Amino acid sequence: MSKKDKQFRFEKVTIGEMAAEGKCVARVNDKVIFTEFLAPGDVADLRIYKTKKRFAFAKAEHIYEFSSSRTTPVCEHFGTCGGCKWQHITYENQALYKEKQVKDNLERIGKINVEEYLPIIQAKSIYNYRNKLEFSFSDKRWLTNEEIGTEDTLNDINGLGFHVPERFDKVLDIKKCHLQQDPSNALRLEVRKFAVEHKIPFTI
């Protein structure tokens, strides 16, 4: 490993806590590191891809130990879509982490002394609860790592789905979304099929 690699890579870092927008926080040499798709208690190798004076952003390269708060995401698009960034954590632990964030925002950031907190009322259903979703068309859809270099990239580059995080010019083609009950998925897939068969442009 080169000297440059050592500066931008940390090995076997224990993830400490959850932060806003599904990010996790680790601390290495007094530097705060934000990561995604990890959970408090995970032990992982982190590679820095953006650094500031007091904090940095990193991606996990390898996970040695998995947190007890983890669960298996149900969505095949998890990790790419970005719409459900907590899906790898059990719902019970999601509620606990979010409750802690509320307290932290009020007390540490807002400097407000709150004598009593009411617990989060957990939802009866954690999937299929949305009554509205908006999808976008694209004639140059976002390609996943699995698709790059395969025949799929040549046969069909149209997409109907959600914008990938921080890329408003790229749309991820969604096969099934668990946020809304059917016939939402069936309608979207039928619209996509109709557009392809009738050669309607997917241009956005």
Query: What is this structure's pTM?
Result: 0.82
What local confidence, expressed as pLDDT, does residue 21 receive? 82
Sketch the domain layout of the chain as residue ranges: 9-65, 136-197
Q: Model confidence over 114-144: pLDDT tens digits?
A: 889 888 999 999 999 999 999 999 998 998 8
Least confident of 40-49, 62-71, 155-164: 155-164
DSSP the chain: --HHHHHTEEEEEEP-EE-GGGEEEEEETTEEEEEES--TT-EEEEEEEEE-SSEEEEEEEEEEE--TTB---S-TTTTTS-S-TTTTB-HHHHHHHHHHHHHHIIIIIS----S--PPP---S-SSS--S----EEESSPPPPTTTTTSTHHHH---EEEEEETTEEEEEEEPS--SSS-TTHHHHHHHHHHHHHHTT-----
- Summarize the confidence of residues 156-183 as an average pLDDT: 90
pLDDT band at 83 (very low <50, low <70, confident <90, very high): confident
Is the confidence at residue 153, as pLDDT, over 60? no
Architecture of domain 9-65: Beta Barrel (2.40)
